[in-house]
Amino acid sequence: MIDATSRLLRERGAGGMSVQALMAAVGLTQGGFYKHFRSKEQLVDISTARAFTEILSFLRSTIEDFPDRARARAELLRHYLSPEHRDSPATGCANTALASDAARAAAGSPMRAAYATGVEETLGALAECEEVRDDGRAESRRRAIVDLATMVGALTLARGTRETPLSDEILQVVHEALAAQHEPGSGGGGPAAGSAAPPPAP
């Protein structure tokens, strides 16, 4: 039931997921729900944490399969910014799929806490994909935050424009920009080589 909820939660959001639909997905009657959980909110809270298992499992297996960190990061970018990932929200990254629900959740709520924990764990795994440099762990975390925020933003826009040429363009352009950041001469975690500098803050 928790696994099914984690998929429906990512696919439809908490507001679009009824207890009736959930129980139908697992082949049970609606009346049996309250034998296991006090409320839909309790199940959503638990399932938020479960929803992060796919991306964390992928990151950990990628690190194991590609000991070279540059190759591990390249594999991550290829997978994350792919049409297949865009088109599979139910089994995709919870950082993207649950951001809106977590933002709407009450401050201090279990769902908000579970989401924050999931983001922290994702950043920890992402930092392991960063190349070891003299700038140390703090800089690896900074680069991981930039990668995650950029990928989540790109995937969100690509899903919102799905079935248009713009959607594929967003995935391709962001993939190329992130990949270029770690190419020789790119300057590390800054803008991709040849990109314009950001305008000054107003």
Instruction: Encode pLDDT of 167-199 as tens digits.
Output: 999 999 999 999 998 654 444 444 333 333 333
pLDDT band at 130 (very low <50, low <70, confident <90, very high): confident
Q: Dihedral (C-alpha) 36, 116, 167, 75: value to the nearest 10 degrees?
A: -100
Neighbours of 118 (CB within 10 A): 23
The confidence score (pLDDT) of residue 182 equals: 66
Contact 48, 111 (CB under 8 A): yes
Stretch(es) of the chain classified as CATH 1.10.10: 2-48
Distances in whole angstroms, Cα of residue 96 to Cα of each of 89, 132, 136, 157, 177:
9, 27, 28, 10, 19
Could you give phi then psi for residue 39, rounded to 5 degrees?
-160, 165
pLDDT band at 136 (very low <50, low <70, confident <90, very high): low
Q: Per the confidence metrics, is the pTM higher than 0.85? A: no
- The CA-based angle 88-91-95, given to 5 degrees, is 95
Q: Which class is domain 52-181?
A: mainly alpha
pLDDT above 70 coverage of the chain, percent? 87
Structure tokens at 34: 């309250």
Structure tokens at 77: 């970018």
Stretch(es) of the chain classified as CATH 1.10.357.10: 52-181
Residues 1-6: what's their mean pLDDT? 90
Rounded CA-CA distance 82/159 in Å is 11
Structure tokens at 17: 């997921």
Domain 2-48, classified CATH 1.20.1060, yes or no: no
Instruction: Encode pLDDT of 99-120 as tens digits.
Output: 999 999 999 999 999 999 999 9
